[in-house]
Chains A and B, each alone.
Chain A
Amino acid sequence: MEQVQGFFSFLWDNLMQFAEFTGFANATWGHIAMILVALGFIALAIIKEYEPLLLIPIGFGIIIGNIPFVPGFQLGVYEEGSVMNYLYFGVIKGVYPPLIFLGVGAMTDFSALISNPKLMLIGAAAQLGIFGAYIAALQLGFTPSEAGAIGIIGGADGPTAIFLSSRLAPELLGAIAISAYSYMALVPVFQPPVMRLLTTKKERVIRMKPPRQVTQMEKILFPILGLLLTAFIVPSGLPLLGMLFFGNLLKESTVTKRLADTAKGPMIDIVTILIGLTVGASTQATTFLTTKSLGIFVLGAISFIVATAGGVLFVKFFNLFLKEGNKINPLIGNAGVSAVPDSARLSQMVGLEYDKTNHLLMHAMGPNVAGVIGSAVAAGILLSFLY
């Protein structure tokens, strides 16, 4: 009888221990809130098709990161020795972003920019969002390092945001990455009102000259000279700029088609999966649901709006110095924020609303890719001053 009692008491103790280890026993409202956010991301990606390649890995990563568990079993992304921690290593050490840039370089056609190089300046002007958010973050009481990491959300470039925040403010990385990717997905919501507000009807129908033909030699020279010039000025941006231009040379040299195909195909896909999943998993409710995260989301929105306004207003200003016939349609100013190619697509869509035959896509791709270079340079500057 005693033996049976002992067995049942042993069984009961173990069942109770098991119950204590389940997610139900350890769940908090924070975990549930984060899981709901994740489901929202996944729904946006599937139903609305907003950046599905990013929002689905991130959304699922948030669910993984917010399954409640008892710490100490090497499960969580922040627990040393856990599988997620090993995968997260590529984020905190800034390994993944340059690899993504390699793929981006191999995908990007800089012809639009080379044929009309003055569009590069729009990509520079749109970086105003980064520094607008930097100033606002300082006013809200963030430290200069944190402000720099938050400001880069305005660069509308997920890998750049992850790269910089892993250096300047690793504790804010999750919130910054989620904010950057969310706003990139919400570009169609944020940008058109700003574009319409800052332009006149007459400006929106400006027709731009068709881009001239670009020779293969120019396309090959662009990544080489681009790297030499930008990296000599801002060496701290080298990991991003180096990989971006290297990827582009693989594409444009035409003799390394296999390497370019790998960089823009399987490799970028693998890294996107890893970066999305681990960044999502890093948003554990305990570390993510803070007032700082809320501040980051507000500042992220400000930076996107300022960046869009910066690009559009710069085009208007630039037009003052351009002859009739050479003028630039200010609706392509928004594309300077990068968010390739969504913001360029928006220029096209908004442009077509006012003139059904005025196709702005090719022109908008110029500032769009210049924005990628501009945000990498801006990240390099912030690193060299604040790191």
Chain B
Amino acid sequence: MKKLLHITFLIAGISIVGFVVHAQNVEDLRINEVMLFNSDNYVDNFGQRSAWIEIMNTGYNSVNMENCYLTNDLNDLKKYRIPSGDPISIIPTRQFIVFLADMKTEHGTLHLNFTLDSINRFIALVSSNGKTILDSVTVPLLGSNQVYARTTDGGPIWCTSQYTTPNSTNEGQIEKTSPSEAFGAFDPSGFIMAIIAMSVVFISLIFLYRIFHAIGNANQRASRRKKAKEMAGQPIAHEDEVAGEVFAAISTALYLYETDKHDYESAIITIERVSKRYSPWSSKIYGLREMPPRIIQHQPKR
């Protein structure tokens, strides 16, 4: 009897310790990064994009998330229960897991039964008792492909960023400034941009100008040489100065003439033989213009 009592105490003790350890482990979980509008970012195993929530295990032991809850509604803390028995819900030390808010639970454990959008921006991670909120965040309105993330993994400071790190560390990434912000800090007035950009535009077009100037000159020289060759031996005819407008008018007329010729015309002009085909309806033989043959009735001779 005494032995049985000891065993019972031992089992109860192990259970309590186990529960406490489990509870401590679960408390190491943090919502680390959230994306509301995913148009060009993280793709799930089904090739689809949706809002996502990254959870991090900030502790130094692996944590099993089974039976914990995720929700986007403070009045319904048990909205999505993470199924038990799926090894995917075990997060190794200092690692991450990404849940997809796509309302497609049939796709697996990581797919939640709610979505995130401009209205539903509250997220809470709830312990397995369905009451204790382990971590929660209200995400500000984000742009497409932007995230709301902790500046350091599990740290207290959040920021909005266009740099996203699903399933990996936020350290040194999230706070990275975008090229435009960096350029803005370097050139707050915009004058340096104006000078550089105008110089590049000018350089590009000066290059083009120089090349086509050279090509044009070479062309003119070649045509002059050709003309001179053709004229060699022929008496030089005196030509009056002709105004440019005349050449323009001739060129326009030629151009119009050339462009007016088509391979396919919209209308077809053709000669069709008109033949009077035989038809009994128009046949003179059967026509009624002829008087019907007179029927001569012969009187029988008596």
Question: Interface of A with B (CB < 8 Å)?
Answer: 113-115, 117-118, 120-121, 123-125, 127-128, 130-132, 134-135, 137-139, 143-145, 147-148, 168, 170-171, 209-210, 212, 214-215, 217-218, 221-222, 225-226, 229-230, 233-234, 359, 362, 370, 373-374, 377-378, 381-382, 385-387
Whole-angstrom distance between the alpha carbons of A387 and B188 in the complex? 17
B179, B194, B204: which has the most chain A beta carbons within 10 Å? B204
A384 to B294, alpha carbons, bound, how many Å? Answer: 106
Binding site for A on B (CB under 8 A): 143-144, 178-181, 183-184, 188-191, 193-194, 196-198, 200-209, 211-213, 215-216, 219-220, 223, 244-245, 247-248
Tell me how far the C-beta of A134 lies from the nearest C-beta in chain B, rounded to whole angstroms.
Answer: 5
Q: Which residues of A contact B190 (CB under 8 A)?
A: 131, 134-135, 137-139, 144, 147
Distance in angstroms from B99 CB to nearest chain A CB is 20
Residues of A within 8 A of B247 (CB): 210
Considering the chains assembled together, what is the distance between the CA atoms of A214 and B211 in angstroms?
Answer: 14
List residues of chain A with CB within 8 A of the CB of B207. 229, 233
Q: Could you say which residues of chain B place their CB within 8 Å of the CB of A171?
A: 143
Contact B179 A381 (CB under 8 A): no
19 contacts between A and B (CB under 8 A): A115-B216, A117-B212, A117-B216, A120-B206, A127-B198, A131-B198, A135-B191, A143-B180, A143-B181, A143-B184, A144-B193, A214-B216, A221-B215, A233-B204, A373-B205, A377-B205, A378-B197, A381-B197, A387-B179
Contact indicator B179/A124 (Cβ below 8 Å): no
Contact A117 B213 (CB under 8 A): yes
Q: Which A residues are in CB contact (< 8 Å) with B215?
A: 218, 221
Q: Using Cβ atoms and an 8 Å threshold, which residues of chain A touch B194?
A: 128, 131-132, 134-135
Measured in the bound complex, the distance between the Cα atoms of B191 and A127 in whole Å is 14
Which A residues are in CB contact (< 8 Å) with B211? 225, 229
Residues in A with CB closer than 8 Å to B193 are: 131, 134, 144, 385
A385 to B178, CA, bound (A): 10
Contact across chains for A124 and B202 when beta carbons are under 8 A apart:
yes
Given the known interface contacts A134-B193, A138-B188, A234-B200, the answer about A120 and B183 at a Cβ–Cβ threshold of 8 Å is no
Residues in B neighbouring A214, C-beta threshold 8 A: 216
B200 engages A233 (CB within 8 Å): yes
A226 touches B209 (CB 8 A): no
Contact of B208 among A127, A210, A229 (CB under 8 A): A229
Cα separation A144 to B193 with both chains bound (whole Å)? 10
Q: B195's closest neighbor in chain A, by CB?
A: A131
B180 touches A144 (CB 8 A): yes
**A134 to B188, alpha carbons, bound, how many Å?**
11
Residue in B closest to A310 when the chains form the complex, CB atoms? B198
Q: CB distance B183 to A230 under 8 Å? A: no
Interchain nearest-CB distance for A336 vs B (Å): 10
Q: How distant is B254 from chain A, measured CB to nearest CB, in Å? A: 12
In Å, the complex CA distance between A345 and B203 comes to 28
Known interface pairs A131-B198, A145-B180, A218-B216; A121-B191 also in contact (CB < 8 Å): no
Cβ contact within 8 Å between B204 and A385? no
Q: Are A121 and B184 in contact (CB under 8 A)?
A: no
* Contact across chains for B208 and A230 when beta carbons are under 8 A apart: yes
Contact present for B201 and A381 (CB under 8 Å)? yes
B209→A377 contact, CB < 8 A: no
How far apart sit A89 and B189, CA to CA, in the bound complex (Å)?
A: 34
Q: Which of B181, B184, B197, B209 contacts A117 (CB 8 A)?
A: B209
Which residue of A is nearest B182, CB measured? A144
Measured between alpha carbons, how far is A16 from B201 in the docked complex, in Å?
A: 61
Are B203 and A385 touching (Cβ within 8 A)?
no
Q: Give chain B residues whose Cβ lies under 8 Å from the Cβ of A135.
A: 189-191, 194
Look across to chain A and name the residue whose beta carbon is closest to the beta carbon of B220.
A212
Determine whether the beta carbon of B180 is less than 8 Å from that of A387: yes
User: Is A381 a contact of B180 with CB atoms below 8 Å?
Assistant: no
Beta-carbon contact of B180 and A210 below 8 Å: no
**Nearest CB in chain B: distance from A227 CB, A:** 10
A168 touching B180 in the complex, CB below 8 Å, given contacts A114-B212, A138-B189: yes
Provide the bound-state CA to CA distance between A56 and B30, in Å. 53
- A134 and B191 CA atoms in complex are apart in Å by 9
A287 to B: closest C-beta gap in Å:
12
Please name the residue on chain A nearest to B119 by beta carbon: A71
| CB neighbours of B223 from chain A (8 A) | 215
| A280 to B237 alpha-carbon distance, docked (Å) | 64
Residues A233 and B203 in contact, CB atoms below 8 Å apart: yes
